[in-house]
Structure 1
Amino acid sequence: MLSWEVPNELIVASGIGQIFTAIVYPYIRHAVFDWYNDIKKLKPLNQEIAKTYGRYIQGLNFAFGIISLLFTEELKNGTGLSVALTGLIAAYWTGKVLTQFSYYPMYQIPRKLKFKVGEILMNTLFISFAITFLWLVWSNCLSYLRA
């Protein structure tokens, strides 16, 4: 019989990667996208809204990483809560990947080598998070439906 269980090491690696994305997020906004100068062109309320959403993204990436590190077993135990939480995280990262490849290619990032390498590495991380959590939600759904 095939085992659909996701290895703990993959969940932990995803946790570390998600925390990493939260830590480098401000640098990417500043160094790659000149985000802070663009934000200054908005009305004050819109500036605060944009900053708030930026913090939401950073906070979710960090929180999903901490959850992955601290609750590795619970994320794959086949309970209703594990289905819901891994489904949420899978939807978040899958949505990020779809958005990344659907909308972002029309914009230019600086052509420096470090930014091109960074783009490839970050996209690889995003795709790996989506795959890991899609696998987790699939495994959890199978376990949940068998119970």
Structure 2
Amino acid sequence: MKIIIPNWLIILGAIGQMFTAIIYPYIRHVVFDWYNDIQKLKPLNQEIAKTYGRYIQGLNFSFGLISILFTEDLKNQTSLAVALTGLIAAYWTGKVITQFSYYPMYDIPKIKIFKIGEVLMNTMFIAFALIFILLFVTNLVGYLK
């Protein structure tokens, strides 16, 4: 049985990944009041935290852009497709594990829109992980044949 992953699913995931990058500053500023918390750190630690935030934002956007521009290449079962879809799958799977392992102990503001946003964002993270796990497994099986 050959699994065919539709392009629209990959592109939908790509748009979602880019959306997370775009919305990331809003979440940090408004939902988590992140920059006020960062001010409590030493200057070097402030810059390290900001840098990692930019890395996350950049990776989310880049993975989305790659997925839109190279949709077919992400499915072609080459060694590069295996490596790249494996990387993206590991990234989002790690995000989901972290999200549910560590973040529940922190409270977000009890505003209805933030609670809805939390559910929608978590749903997207799980979807990204599943899409890229499926792509990775499909690529790996095809590559090993």
TM-based fold match above 0.5? yes
Which letter maps to 1:63? Answer: S
- Segments of structure 1 that go 5 or more residues without pairing to the other structure are none
Which letter maps to 1:107? Answer: Y
Alignment RMSD (CA, Å): 0.5
Deviation at 1:118, TM superposition (A): 0.2
Deviation at 1:29, TM superposition (A): 0.5
Q: Tell me the distance in 2 between the aligned counterparts of 1:55 and 1:46.
A: 14
Q: Does 1:35 align with 2:39?
A: no
Match of 1:114 in 2: 113
- Segments of structure 2 that go 5 or more residues without pairing to the other structure are none
Match of 2:44 in 1: 45
Q: Between Structure 1 and Structure 2, how many residues are aligned?
A: 145
Q: Tell me the distance in 1 between the aligned counterparts of 2:123 and 2:67.
A: 18
> What pairs with 1:60-99 in structure 2 (closer than 5 Å)?
60-99=59-98
Provide the TM-score with structure 2 as the length reference.
0.99
Counting aligned pairs with the same residue, the percent is 71
Match of 2:53 in 1: 54
Deviation at 1:3, TM superposition (A): 2.0
Match of 1:26 in 2: 25
Deviation at 1:73, TM superposition (A): 0.2
Deviation at 1:54, TM superposition (A): 0.1
SS of structure 1 residue aligned to 2:5: coil
Q: Tell me the distance in 2 between the aligned counterparts of 1:141 and 1:3.
A: 13
